[in-house]
Homo-oligomer: A and B are copies of this chain.
């Protein structure tokens, strides 16, 4: 265990990913060539392909790190959500959205999402899909938490609802990254319009 070879491998993989994060952010995904990454990471082009299946694959690895962070931040909110069904749901969604552009450009999101759809069988394509599922699960968790607190009708199943809400926020996020001119504020307003009526319908107050 822990021979020289293993250390070198880990180090090379890390260097490639670091190079990717840095240069993709600075110069944009498209304009950075594999050769550039190889140069920054001080390996050859061929070596890049020993660690990652494709250029887009590298991008997904960087996006995945970002989503992991979002999931962690979301877990805190789910543990103790704000009062009010729509407040709680929207605050989680906005947390996702606000985080999304901190380290990744719209172009990077577009590329990563496109790959996840286009090449779902690659390791990182799968990885992206799993991350989406975990995000959906987190929304479901929130619904369940609100049910436990008596704010959402317990007659409703949390999972379909969580899935519905996630699918909606995800699709709206796609529309957001597709349009370079759309602001986060516009996105928020749109998701409010879509989500709030549903929040009303499922809340216990509405039933009463």
Contact = CB atoms under 8 A, between A and B. Distances in A.
B110 A120 contact: yes
Nearest to A120: B178
Given A114-B117, A201-B202, A172 B167 contact: yes
Contacts of A168: 163-164, 167-168, 171
A118 B129 contact: no
Interface string A93-113: 000000000000000001101
Interface of A: 110-111, 113-118, 120, 129, 156-157, 160-161, 163-164, 167-168, 170-172, 174, 177-179, 193-194, 196-198, 201-202
24 contacts: A110-B117, A110-B118, A113-B117, A113-B118, A114-B114, A114-B118, A116-B178, A117-B117, A120-B178, A120-B179, A156-B197, A160-B194, A160-B197, A163-B194, A164-B164, A164-B194, A164-B198, A167-B167, A167-B168, A168-B168, A168-B171, A170-B171, A171-B171, A201-B202
